[in-house]
């Protein structure tokens, strides 16, 4: 068992304890057997003082539980959500950032001007910003970081964010000018992603193990396989964080996560992995359970190039064979919102397409017959480790079996899943939650793992990128949602809920998950 | 009669326990109270009470039915694995004993030592990790670590038999080593092999449960005791019946098989049958060998 020093528990006791020691020594030095009573009295008083001390001093550290450990700490060099969940907004910042409600806020850019034609963005940067190693931040750092991320040899996982950028110029140390090749209404949104954060040219190559950013927390140490520690950055340009120390502890086993929360070893689990335990935490006054929304569209990904899924009728049959509510109840214990397309329901331009693929096993059977599979067929269902996939997979297998589709389930670890399914495209069906915000654009990539190739959709998405008018963008996004829903590209299951469990004394954790992040800047202990 | 039963307590209790699970497995082919592949989410996590004798799991499946079908999985995997171990291991052991000291003998036995050097479950995990999870690979994995157990036992027991006078007379009569092994050595080893087979069977049940627990055994929707245990973990605090029944099933099966194996050993030993109390005074070479082999394989 790991022992973590909690200042709340130790600081007051240590402080009073030193006084205590002196007094007791003096009393002892004066000698005499009646001293015993006095010593007891003093000890009692000190104990009482200690309690008061405990009650007054709010803790300034937090232990945050995460299920997956990040492979590295450079958000510009990896797709793993766990990277952003540690460093986004805490260690690294970009020109803009996401707020708790998903809105785009200013970060290292204090303000910006957009030219009439929408092609030139002039960013006014904040002054007095320093990196954690003490070096000063200026516009050339931003230019370096963005140029590195959009370079041909860049390993950035979301390179398409920078597609529309033509040139980046440093006007003066506090002014940056980005010129676009075509108008892009989503530029400020794109720059808020964790993949667009700013690093210094001197330290970027060490970011994987020792990240140096501009954020309110400094990276302190990483105990591989166990935890990552951050400490407050005293030279932060903005409002300093209230916490002094943040520990991200990695607990992959849901059982262990449960035990560590109950024992108080972990203070908060922003994405608690076992929804079946939430009722217990809710009943316990020591904990707060907050169920919010995430950007995680949980879908039954279908290999659109693998027969028989290259036949739209078959995909439609699969869609009608799925009973979403049963999956949400059975796999997620009721937490989750049904979706009918690849779009987050809390987004204002979301359109409900669930009726399009309503649960109708008879229709599914009829469609299979029409497609020439009256006796059904057999396919593979490859499941990554999260419980939404493992449990959801068993339920979907039973639902598909009811209409004559036999599935061979194989449970894979993440590494195997990435290898076989995501990169190898060797699968029929799989279940995964796509947690990036506004990621409908992945359907325009024909070589993405579900291999959906629709020229009309690809044209729509490239038009969308150029469109800056909000109303038109909304309309186009809705059309896009409709196209993939009508093509039954994947089985659309539900929007993953953010099931957060935290000690009742913690204030300021994000309720929803507009991006992959555990923003600790506003978190504090109320008691 | 009562004396007879008392002397064979182990055998009888063990046999009864085994019978219960074998019967459950066989019956499950024709009938289970509920279908284990049909989910009934509306009736999830019901406490043990009629009509669900052992309650239902998080998908509303009847746990009693799952235990029955799980018995089938456990028994099938363990049985085939032990058979693999016997079919490959026994001939290897006989062959090695017949050619004692020859290069073959050395090769076979050192090869066995090599497999023995790895913890059994680790080999199984390695095999399933390389070839993918599934009941078939679990069978192969458990079967492979059974081979050296049987090979060693057979060789050691056969070596002592080769010194016997009747073997000598067979050799004098001009029988080949192969024929002697098949006609005289093997029949005299059968008791020993049956007993060891029972013990290995119980280890096979445990290994299957262990592999399924870590997700490398039978894949869903095939019910498996080990996976039932694994899935019940996070729900143990509010639905303990999810873990208790598959746990009991594993414990009782393994206990039953071990008792049965011990009982068989006593039963097959003619000296013990008549003179139980002199067990320590007359150490049988077979018995001693058996004990040492058993100790090793359990480790």
Helix H, strand E, coil C: the string for A2-45 is CCCCCHHHHHHHHHHHHHHHHHHHHHHHHCCCCHHHHHHHHHHH
Higher pLDDT, A487 or B275: A487
* Average pLDDT of span B114-133: 79
CB atoms within 10 A of CB A356: 16
User: Cα separation of A238 and A215, whole Å?
Assistant: 9
User: Cα separation of B55 and B64, whole Å?
Assistant: 7
Nearest to B41 among A254, A258, A326 (CB): A326
B58 contacts in chain A (CB < 8 Å): 276, 330, 391
Q: Write out pLDDT tens, residues B186-216.
A: 988 988 999 999 999 999 999 899 888 888 8
Beta bridge partners of A292: A498
Nearest to B39 among A255, A330, A408 (CB): A330
User: Cα separation of B24 and B71, whole Å?
Assistant: 7
A274 contacts in chain B (CB < 8 Å): 234
CA B25 to chain centre: 16
A241-274: b or e for each residue (b if 16 or more CB lie within 10 Å)? bbbbbbbbbbbeebbbbbebbbeebbbbbbbbbb
Judge whether A499 is closer than 8 Å to chain B, CB to CB: no
Judge whether A395 is closer than 8 Å to chain B, CB to CB: yes
Q: Which residue bears the tokens 């909000």?
A: A470
Nearest to A280 among B58, B134, B237 (CB): B237
Which among A172, A206, A240 is the end of a domain? Answer: A206
Nearest to A395 among B59, B132, B235 (CB): B59
Structure tokens at A249: 């502890």
Choose the mutation target among A398, A399, A412 for the interface with B, i.e. most B CBs under 10 Å: A398
Structure tokens at B122: 């680790």
Query: Which structural domain, as residue segments, surrounds residue A19?
Result: 2-48
Maximum C-alpha span of chain B: 76
A329 contacts in chain B (CB < 8 Å): 41, 44
CA A358 to chain centre: 30
User: Cα separation of A499 and A281, whole Å?
Assistant: 11
Beta bridge partners of A169: A177
Pairing of strands A429-434, A506-507: unpaired
A273 contact partners, CB below 8 Å, separation of at least 6: A67, A254, A257, A386, A387
Choose the mutation target among B42, B215, B220, B224 for the interface with A, i.e. most A CBs under 10 Å: B220
The pLDDT score that the predictor gives to residue B277 is: 45
Q: Grade residue B297 by pLDDT with cuts at 50, 70 and 90.
A: very low
Residue A212 lies in a domain: no
The pLDDT score that the predictor gives to residue B112 is: 87
Q: Where are the beta strands (DSSP E) in A192-286?
A: 217-223, 227-232, 245-250, 268-269
The pLDDT score that the predictor gives to residue A163 is: 86
A280 contacts in chain B (CB < 8 Å): 237-238
The pLDDT score that the predictor gives to residue A373 is: 92
Question: A249 CA to chain B: closest CA distance, Å?
Answer: 19
Q: How many residues does chain B have?
A: 299
Same domain, A242 and A154: no
B62 contact partners, CB below 8 Å, separation of at least 6: B32, B33, B34, B36, B52, B53, B54, B56
Nearest to B215 among A258, A394, A411 (CB): A411
Structure tokens at A491: 């089985």
The pLDDT score that the predictor gives to residue B63 is: 92
Structure tokens at B118: 């790895």
- A373 within 8 A of A313, measured Cβ to Cβ: no
Question: A18 CA to chain B: closest CA distance, Å?
Answer: 43
Q: What is the DSSP letter of A509?
A: -
Nearest to A274 among B41, B221, B234 (CB): B234
Question: A261 CA to chain B: closest CA distance, Å?
Answer: 13
Low-confidence ranges of chain A (pLDDT < 50): 1-33, 52-54
Judge whether B129 is closer than 8 Å to chain A, CB to CB: no
Domain boundaries, chain B: 2-268
Q: Grade residue B287 by pLDDT with cuts at 50, 70 and 90.
A: very low
**Segment 292-331 of chain A within 8 Å of chain B by CB:** 326, 329-330
CA B148 to chain centre: 14
A447 contact partners, CB below 8 Å, separation of at least 6: none
The pLDDT score that the predictor gives to residue B50 is: 80
> How many A×B Cβ pairs under 8 Å?
58
- Highest mean predicted confidence (pLDDT) among A16-25, A377-386, B36-45, B230-239: A377-386
User: Cα separation of B189 and B95, whole Å?
Assistant: 14
Structure tokens at B278: 């002199």
Q: Grade residue B13 by pLDDT with cuts at 50, 70 and 90.
A: very high
Same domain, A486 and A448: yes
| H-only helix segments in chain B | 2-7, 9-30, 63-98, 103-117, 120-131, 135-162, 165-172, 177-180, 186-213, 225-232, 241-268, 270-274, 285-298
**Segment 160-219 of chain B within 8 Å of chain A by CB:** 215, 219
- B84 within 8 A of B72, measured Cβ to Cβ: no
Contact check, Cβ <8 Å, A330/B215: no
Same domain, A30 and A120: no
Judge whether A397 is closer than 8 Å to chain B, CB to CB: yes
B234 contacts in chain A (CB < 8 Å): 254-255, 258, 274, 276-277
B267-292: b or e for each residue (b if 16 or more CB lie within 10 Å)? bbbeebeeeeeeeeeeeeebbebbee
Residue A386: CA count within 13 A, CB half-sphere: 19
Secondary structure class of B265 (helix, strand, coil) = helix
- A75 within 8 A of A208, measured Cβ to Cβ: no
Contact check, Cβ <8 Å, A276/B220: no
Same domain, A15 and A144: no
Angle between helices B186-213 and B285-298 (to 10 degrees): 10
Rounded alpha-carbon distances, angstroms, from residue A372 to A43, A365, A452: 86, 11, 22
Same domain, A233 and A245: yes
Judge whether A275 is closer than 8 Å to chain B, CB to CB: no
- A19 within 8 A of A65, measured Cβ to Cβ: no
B39 contacts in chain A (CB < 8 Å): 326, 330, 394-395, 398
Same domain, A301 and A235: no
Beta bridge partners of A97: A105
CATH number, domain with residue A341:
3.10.105.10
Question: A353 CA to chain B: closest CA distance, Å?
Answer: 24
The pLDDT score that the predictor gives to residue A79 is: 77
Same domain, A223 and A190: no
The pLDDT score that the predictor gives to residue A338 is: 94
Beta bridge partners of A503: A287
Pairing of strands A377-383, A429-434: parallel
B133 contacts in chain A (CB < 8 Å): 410-411
The pLDDT score that the predictor gives to residue A257 is: 92
Same domain, A225 and A306: no
Q: Which of B147, B162, B78, B139 is nearest to B113 (CA)?
A: B147
A258 contacts in chain B (CB < 8 Å): 234, 237
CA gyration radius for chain A?
Answer: 27
Residue B82 has pLDDT above 90, yes or no: yes
User: Cα separation of B87 and B81, whole Å?
Assistant: 10
Domain count, chain A: 4
The pLDDT score that the predictor gives to residue B118 is: 81
Nearest to A280 among B44, B215, B238 (CB): B238
Residue A472 lies in a domain: yes
A120 contact partners, CB below 8 Å, separation of at least 6: A114, A177, A178, A179, A180
Residue B288 has pLDDT above 60, yes or no: no
Structure tokens at B48: 């043990």
Q: Which residue bears the tokens 């995990």?
A: B125
Residue B273 has pLDDT above 70, yes or no: no
Same domain, A411 and A520: no
Structure tokens at A391: 């449990």
Contact check, Cβ <8 Å, B133/A276: no
Nearest to B37 among A258, A330, A398 (CB): A398
Question: B235 CA to chain A: closest CA distance, Å?
Answer: 7
Which ipTM score applies to this complex? 0.72
Higher pLDDT, A30 or B127: B127
* Average pLDDT of span B172-182: 89
Same domain, A353 and A427: yes
Q: Which residue bears the tokens 């990695």?
A: A250
B226 contacts in chain A (CB < 8 Å): none
- State the CATH architecture for B2-268: Orthogonal Bundle (1.10)
Question: A301 CA to chain B: closest CA distance, Å?
Answer: 19
The pLDDT score that the predictor gives to residue A5 is: 37
**Segment 350-369 of chain A within 8 Å of chain B by CB:** none
The pLDDT score that the predictor gives to residue B299 is: 34
Nearest to A258 among B37, B132, B234 (CB): B234
User: Cα separation of A294 and A516, whole Å?
Assistant: 9
Q: Write out pLDDT tens, residues A226-249.
A: 999 999 999 999 889 999 999 999
Contact check, Cβ <8 Å, B221/A411: no
Q: Grade residue B1 by pLDDT with cuts at 50, 70 and 90.
A: low
User: Cα separation of A133 and A264, whole Å?
Assistant: 34
Q: Which residue bears the tokens 């990196």?
A: A131
Contact check, Cβ <8 Å, A274/B133: no
pTM of the predicted model, to two decimals?
0.76
Contact check, Cβ <8 Å, A411/B234: no
Residue B298 has pLDDT above 80, yes or no: no
A414 contact partners, CB below 8 Å, separation of at least 6: A68, A384, A385
Residue B296 has pLDDT above 70, yes or no: no
Which among A183, A206, A229 is the end of a domain? Answer: A206
Angle between helices B63-98 and B225-232 (to 10 degrees): 130
B71-87: b or e for each residue (b if 16 or more CB lie within 10 Å)? bbbbbebbbbbbebbbe
Higher pLDDT, A32 or B243: B243
Quick one: CA dihedral B118, B120, B121, B126, positive or negative? positive
Judge whether A48 is closer than 8 Å to chain B, CB to CB: no
Q: Which of A513, A515, A512, A484 is nearest to A340 (CA)?
A: A484
Residue A61 lies in a domain: no
Structure tokens at B105: 């003998």
Structure tokens at A338: 């049904």
């Amino acid at each position: 068992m790991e022992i973590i020093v909690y200042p709340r528990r130790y600081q007051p006791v240590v402080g009073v304890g030193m006084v205590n020691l002196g007094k007791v020594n003096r009393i002892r030095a004066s000698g005499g057997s009646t001293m015993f009573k006095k010593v007891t009295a003093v000890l009692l008083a000190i104990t009482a003082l200690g309690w008061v001390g405990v009650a007054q001093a709010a803790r300034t550290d937090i232990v945050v539980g995460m299920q997956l450990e990040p492979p590295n700490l450079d958000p510009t060099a990896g797709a793993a959500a766990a990277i952003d969940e540690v460093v986004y907004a805490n260690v690294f910042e970009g020109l803009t950032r996401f707020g708790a409600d998903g809105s785009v806020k200013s970060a290292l850019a204090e303000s910006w001007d957009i030219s009439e034609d929408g092609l030139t963005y002039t960013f006014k940067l904040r002054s007095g910003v320093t990196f954690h190693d003490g070096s000063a931040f200026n516009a050339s750092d931003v230019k370096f970081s963005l140029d590195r991320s959009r370079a041909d040899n860049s390993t950035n996982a979301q390179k398409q964010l920078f597609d529309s950028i033509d040139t980046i110029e440093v006007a003066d140390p506090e002014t940056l000018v980005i010129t676009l090749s075509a108008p892009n209404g989503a530029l400020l949104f794109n720059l808020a992603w964790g993949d667009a954060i700013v690093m210094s040219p001197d330290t970027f190559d060490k970011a994987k193990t020792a990240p140096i950013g501009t954020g309110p927390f400094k990276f302190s140490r990483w105990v591989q396989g166990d935890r990552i520690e951050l400490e407050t950055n005293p030279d932060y340009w903005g409002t300093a964080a209230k916490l002094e120390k943040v520990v991200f502890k990695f607990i992959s086993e849901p059982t262990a996560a449960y035990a560590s929360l109950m024992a108080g070893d972990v203070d908060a689990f922003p994405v608690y992995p076992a929804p079946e335990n939430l009722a217990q935490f809710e009943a316990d006054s020591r904990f707060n359970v907050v169920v919010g929304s995430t950007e995680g569209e949980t879908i039954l990904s279908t290999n659109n190039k693998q027969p028989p899924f290259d036949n739209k009728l078959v995909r439609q049959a699969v869609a009608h064979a799925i009973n979403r509510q049963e999956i949400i109840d059975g796999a997620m214990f009721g937490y989750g919102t049904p979706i009918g397309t690849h779009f987050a329901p809390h987004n204002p331009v979301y359109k409900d397409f669930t009726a399009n693929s309503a649960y109708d096993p008879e229709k599914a059977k009829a469609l299979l017959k029409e497609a020439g599979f009256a006796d059904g067929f057999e396919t593979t269902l490859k499941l990554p480790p999260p419980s939404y996939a493992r449990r959801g997979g068993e339920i979907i297998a039973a639902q598909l079996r009811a209409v004559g589709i036999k599935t061979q389930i194989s449970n894979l670890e993440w590494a195997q899943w990435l290898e076989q399914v995501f990169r190898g495209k060797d699968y029929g069906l799989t279940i995964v939650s796509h947690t990036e915000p506004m990621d409908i654009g992945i359907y325009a990539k024909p070589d993405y793992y579900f291999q959906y190739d629709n020229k009309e959709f690809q044209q729509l998405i490239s038009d969308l990128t150029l469109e800056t008018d909000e109303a038109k963008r909304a309309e186009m996004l809705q059309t896009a949602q409709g196209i993939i829903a009508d093509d039954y590209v994947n089985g659309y299951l539900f929007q993953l809920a953010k099931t957060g469990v935290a000690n009742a004394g913690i204030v300021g954790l994000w309720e929803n998950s507009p991006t992959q992040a555990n923003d600790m800047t506003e978190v504090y202990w109320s008691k | 009669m009562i004396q007879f039963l008392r002397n064979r307590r182990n055998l009888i209790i063990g046999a009864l326990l085994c019978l219960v699970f074998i019967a459950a497995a066989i019956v499950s082919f024709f009938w289970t109270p509920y279908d284990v592949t049909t989910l009934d989410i509306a009736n999830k996590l019901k406490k043990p009470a009629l009509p669900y004798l052992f309650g239902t799991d998080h998908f509303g499946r009847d746990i009693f039915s799952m235990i029955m079908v799980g018995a089938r999985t456990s028994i099938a995997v363990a049985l085939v694995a032990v058979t693999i171990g016997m079919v490959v291991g026994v001939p290897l052991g006989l062959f090695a004993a017949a050619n004692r000291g020859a290069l073959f003998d050395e090769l076979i036995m050192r090869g066995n030592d090599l497999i023995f050097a790895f913890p059994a479950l680790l080999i199984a995990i390695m095999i399933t990790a390389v070839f993918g999870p599934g009941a078939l690979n679990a069978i192969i994995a458990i079967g492979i670590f059974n081979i050296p157990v049987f090979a060693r036992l057979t060789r050691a027991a056969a070596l002592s038999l080769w010194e016997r006078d009747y073997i000598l007379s067979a050799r004098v009569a001009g029988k080949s080593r192969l024929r002697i092994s098949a006609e005289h050595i093997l029949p005299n080893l059968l008791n020993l092999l049956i007993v060891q087979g029972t013990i290995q069977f119980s280890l096979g049940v445990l290994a299957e449960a262990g592999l399924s627990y870590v997700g490398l055994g039978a894949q869903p929707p095939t019910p498996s005791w080990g996976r039932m245990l694994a899935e019940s973990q996070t729900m143990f605090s509010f639905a303990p019946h999810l873990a208790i029944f598959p746990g009991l099933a594993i414990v009782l099966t393994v206990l039953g098989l071990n008792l049965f194996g011990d009982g068989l050993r006593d039963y097959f030993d003619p000296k013990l049958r008549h003179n139980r109390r002199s067990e320590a005074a007359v150490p049988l070479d077979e018995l001693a060998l058996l004990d040492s082999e058993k100790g090793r394989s359990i480790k």
